[in-house]
């Protein structure tokens, strides 16, 4: 799957992923009103609004982006109905030939980790038959429990030719409380990066590993160091736009070949119609606003890469 991701990045010239993290507050009133008229102000109504919102954004952007990243918590908060909307979103994005990164941040041990891996990336056995449950192409994984938590995911990835993005240095302000702590003179995130590079050697594609890393755009200097530590790992970069990251911050996340990183923007794209520069589209045309935001983001990153020293 890493080869498909790279191919689609090269085809679209867009090393970006759209985060489908649909808070109800992001969804225009006309979408919610229609869903509530059909299902009431219920969990089912909320799930329908989310699904219609996602569908419109995907319809307006699928031809100019390589990938999407639905964050499962935004769906889980609405219970089973929300998870149904998550699955519908995953399936629809795959119909549109988008790579789907399931932002699930799972991390456990043994059979529990294996069950998470099977549920999101693999196949589950039911009697004589096998089924894919959620069927994303990549999943985000928390490595805090060590190799016991990662190996079951790697085993499934090898079998299914799918991939991982392992949390290394996250974009949130308090990430340093643990991730920056020194261990034998090195910050913990560097040791995790070394481990990601090691795990990745087991799962190589043509030029990059199926095992990637998550490194926040809000820490560009750390990204520069981690790029060297993990030369064959694709880096998923959150924190662009709404969290303060911009194209100029991102150049060191990329290798000299212009590959090696994919940058996430969530509310900066899906709620673009609320931003001043896209107000002209109006809430009725929120999908067109999202497309314009994607085009602007691509131009920002492309310009930064062309001008890097």
* Residues annotated as part of the active site: 105
Q: CA-based diameter of the chain, in Å?
A: 60
Interacting residues of 73 by C-beta distance below 8 A, sequence separation 6+? none
Distance CA 27, CA 54 (A): 9
Nearest to 212 by CA among 232, 193, 233: 233
Distance CA 114, CA 219 (A): 32
Nearest to 137 by CA among 174, 170, 178, 91: 91
Distance CA 93, CA 8 (A): 14
Distance CA 292, CA 143 (A): 36
Residue 295, CB half-sphere, CA atoms under 13 Å: how many?
10
């Amino acid at each position: 799957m890493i080869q498909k991701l790279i191919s689609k990045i090269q085809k679209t010239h867009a090393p970006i992923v759209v985060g489908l993290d649909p808070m109800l507050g992001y969804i225009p009133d006309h979408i919610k009103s229609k869903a509530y008229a059909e299902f009431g102000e219920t969990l089912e109504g909320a799930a329908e609004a989310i699904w219609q919102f996602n569908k419109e954004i995907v319809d307006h952007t699928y031809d100019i982006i390589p990938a999407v990243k639905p964050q499962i918590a935004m769906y889980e908060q609405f219970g089973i109905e929300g998870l149904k909307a998550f699955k519908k979103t995953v399936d629809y994005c795959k119909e549109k030939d988008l790579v789907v990164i399931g932002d699930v941040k799972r991390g456990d041990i043994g059979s529990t980790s294996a069950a998470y891996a099977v549920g999101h990336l693999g196949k589950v056995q039911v009697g004589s038959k096998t089924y894919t449950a959620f069927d994303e192409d990549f999943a985000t994984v928390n490595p805090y429990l060590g190799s016991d938590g990662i190996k079951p995911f790697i085993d499934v990835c090898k079998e299914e030719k799918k991939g991982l993005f392992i949390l290394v240095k996250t974009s949130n302000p308090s990430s340093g409380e643990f991730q920056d702590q020194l261990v034998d003179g090195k910050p913990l995130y560097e040791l995790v990066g070394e481990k990601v590079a090691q795990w990745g050697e087991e799962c190589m594609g043509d030029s990059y590993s199926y095992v990637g890393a998550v490194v926040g755009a809000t820490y560009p200097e750390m990204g520069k160091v981690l790029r060297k530590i993990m030369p064959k790992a694709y880096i998923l970069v959150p924190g662009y736009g709404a969290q303060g990251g911009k194209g100029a911050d991102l150049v060191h996340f990329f290798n000299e070949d212009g590959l090696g990183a994919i940058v996430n923007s969530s509310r900066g794209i899906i709620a673009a119609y609320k931003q001043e520069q896209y107000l002209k589209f109006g809430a009725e045309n929120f999908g067109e606003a999202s497309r314009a935001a994607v085009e602007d983001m691509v131009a920002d990153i492309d310009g930064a890469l062309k001008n890097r020293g």
